[in-house]
């Protein structure tokens, strides 16, 4: 958004809560990088602590810590669902935006030469199980396969916002201010007049002709709420996520899954879940590995023998971002019984894939230890998993909270991305998704921002 407005001649100031980082100082150290790059140092949770929510907090946002995967969702499905919710997006224009951004960040098929060895197990298992699979596209250039994508690329091979659109926007005059806290929007008579924030211990106020909130799902709702903008109580409502669990497969031979690109491929196993193969560094890996105390220790000793994957479902838009009675952020998000059943079915499918690929045992991320050694074991998950508390749930793809739609009584923003009732206040990020896109969010957010810039700059009207 900053780049698109700057190249149109707008004077642009970007306010970022996180600190700007120099990629050459990134460490191959999970604990250190969680603190430097993640929101709440990687400890952001739902109010009931059932779901962990991973988001970036740095200049460049979550693109600095994501897996550089470029995945267009099923636009036929997504735009149909959005239209039913009252959100109208021109498919031809959106696809043109996808293509423009793809050219800019050099989207290409993932180089399997630097993929982790789990890719072979996954694709071999999919073929044996009769399930189509495909290697994903990505925005990397000259990747060396270090496997530390989720903690920033110190080699600048991942073409994140930090090394692409941010410096490109700055080259056209945009100003990026990091370390901005307590951001609020001043409004009067249906207009946003200024943005107030604390930086370096001092309160600053910047006047603006247009204000665009791009703080992401959760963050954008909080900025609006803290500014007293509630939109009939709709701000923060309708939160949803692509949420799921990890599944580990223990191989007889050493795999060294940490060596190479982590997230590599997708199994096309139907519309009810998303199944991907990836691999995590040891600390994060340990959080999704079954077993307690000595059992967990013994399981982790086989780290070099594991391949890993994940099962995710798109939750319904029934969650909420709110301020509690102390005016502190709270995130209410639950997975439904239907989602639990979808997750269990997906785990069974992924277990079949891994067993067909040669795994000696498969361990889903369940609270009570569970492992599958053969297909006849798969039904055990039905009795052990009945509630969300029975799973170690997480998401890196929160969505919704400021739903797009024409009905100002139900939606926060209109189809031109303006907050209903305001002339010059816009929201453009994953928080505007009225329903789940059932895919990794990077591509959709970037393409939608490119699409929306036409409205913010008044080049397009409804």
pTM value surpassing 0.95: yes
Assess whether pLDDT exceeds 80 at residue 273: yes
Backbone angles phi and psi of 431, in degrees to 5:
-70, -20
Assess whether pLDDT exceeds 90 at residue 460: no
Query: What average pLDDT score do residues 237-246 get?
Result: 98
Confidence at residue 223, expressed as pLDDT on a 0 to 100 scale: 98
Query: What average pLDDT score do residues 193-206 get?
Result: 98
Confidence at residue 462, expressed as pLDDT on a 0 to 100 scale: 76
pLDDT tier at 76, thresholds 50, 70, 90: very high
Spatial distance between the Cα atoms of 268 and 271, rounded to a whole number of angstroms: 8
Spatial distance between the Cα atoms of 26 and 20, rounded to a whole number of angstroms: 12
Confidence at residue 371, expressed as pLDDT on a 0 to 100 scale: 96
Rounded to the nearest 10°, the torsion over CA 451, 218, 55, 96 is -10
Confidence at residue 64, expressed as pLDDT on a 0 to 100 scale: 98
Query: What average pLDDT score do residues 304-315 get?
Result: 98
Confidence at residue 150, expressed as pLDDT on a 0 to 100 scale: 98
pLDDT tier at 271, thresholds 50, 70, 90: very high
pLDDT digits (tens, 9 = 90+) for 333-384: 999 999 999 999 999 999 999 999 999 999 999 999 999 999 999 999 999 9
Confidence at residue 290, expressed as pLDDT on a 0 to 100 scale: 85
| Domain 2-456, CATH among 3.30.479.30, 3.40.190.10, 3.30.70.2190, 3.50.50.60 | 3.50.50.60
Spatial distance between the Cα atoms of 403 and 151, rounded to a whole number of angstroms: 30
pLDDT tier at 459, thresholds 50, 70, 90: confident
Query: What average pLDDT score do residues 144-154 get?
Result: 97
pLDDT digits (tens, 9 = 90+) for 81-94: 999 999 999 999 99
For residue 60, give every residue at least 6 positions away whose Cβ sits within 8 Å of its Cβ, in sequence order, or none: 160, 161, 162, 163, 166
pLDDT > 90: what percent of the chain?
A: 98
Roughly how many angstroms between the first and final C-alpha of the chain, as a whole number? 19
For residue 92, give every residue at least 6 positions away whose Cβ sits within 8 Å of its Cβ, in sequence order, or none: none
pLDDT digits (tens, 9 = 90+) for 378-432: 999 999 999 999 999 999 999 999 999 999 999 999 999 999 999 999 999 999 9
Rg (CA), the chain: 22
pLDDT tier at 274, thresholds 50, 70, 90: very high
Backbone angles phi and psi of 261, in degrees to 5:
-60, 135
Confidence at residue 249, expressed as pLDDT on a 0 to 100 scale: 98
Average pLDDT score over the chain: 97
The ranges assigned to domains in the chain are 2-456
pLDDT tier at 215, thresholds 50, 70, 90: very high
Query: What average pLDDT score do residues 34-46 get?
Result: 97
Assess whether pLDDT exceeds 90 at residue 461: no
């Amino acid at each position: 958004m900053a780049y698109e407005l700057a190249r149109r001649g707008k004077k642009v100031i970007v306010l970022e809560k996180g600190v700007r980082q120099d990629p050459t100082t990134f460490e191959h150290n999970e604990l250190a990088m969680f603190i430097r790059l993640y929101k709440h140092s990687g400890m952001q949770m739902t109010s009931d602590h059932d779901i962990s929510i991973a988001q970036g907090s740095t200049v460049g946002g979550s693109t600095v810590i994501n897996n550089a995967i470029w995945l267009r969702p099923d636009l036929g499905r997504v735009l149909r669902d959005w239209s039913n919710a009252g959100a109208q997006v021109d498919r031809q224009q959106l696809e043109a935006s996808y293509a423009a951004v793809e050219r800019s960040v050099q989207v290409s098929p993932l180089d399997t030469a630097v993929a982790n060895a789990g890719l072979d197990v996954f694709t071999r298992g999919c073929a044996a199980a009769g399930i189509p699979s495909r290697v994903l596209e990505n925005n990397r250039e000259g990747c060396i396969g270090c496997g530390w994508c989720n903690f920033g690329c110190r080699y600048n091979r991942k073409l994140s916002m930090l090394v692409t659109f941010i410096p490109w926007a700055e080259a056209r005059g945009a100003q990026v201010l990091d370390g901005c806290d307590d951001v609020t929007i001043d409004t009067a008579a249906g207009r946003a007049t200024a943005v107030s924030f604390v930086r370096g211990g001092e309160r600053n106020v910047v006047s603006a002709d247009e204000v665009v909130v791009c703080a992401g799902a959760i963050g954008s709702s909080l900025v609006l709420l803290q500014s007293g903008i509630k939109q009939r109580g709709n701000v923060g409502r309708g939160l949803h996520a692509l949420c799921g669990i990890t599944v580990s497969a223990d191989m007889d031979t050493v795999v060294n899954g940490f060596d190479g690109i982590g997230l590599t491929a997708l199994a096309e196993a139907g519309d009810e879940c998303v199944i991907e193969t990836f691999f995590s560094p040891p600390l994060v890996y340990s959080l999704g590995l079954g077993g307690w105390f000595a059992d967990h220790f013994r399981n982790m000793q086989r780290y070099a023998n594991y391949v890993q994957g994940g099962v995710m479902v798109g939750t319904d838009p029934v969650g909420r971002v709110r301020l509690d009675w102390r005016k502190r952020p709270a995130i209410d998000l639950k997975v439904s019984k239907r989602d639990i059943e979808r997750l269990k079915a997906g785990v069974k499918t992924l277990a079949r894939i891994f067993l067909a690929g040669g795994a000696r045992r498969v361990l889903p991320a369940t609270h009570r230890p569970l492992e599958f050694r053969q297909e006849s074991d798969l039904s055990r998950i039905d009795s052990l998993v009945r509630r969300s508390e029975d799973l170690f749930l997480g998401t890196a793809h929160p969505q919704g909270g400021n739903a797009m739609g024409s009905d100002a009584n139900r939606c926060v923003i209109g189809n031109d991305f303006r907050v209903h009732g305001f002339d010059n206040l816009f929201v453009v990020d994953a928080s505007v998704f009225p329903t789940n896109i059932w895919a990794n969010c990077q591509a959709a957010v970037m393409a939608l921002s490119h699409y929306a810039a036409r409205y913010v700059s008044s080049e397009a009207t409804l």
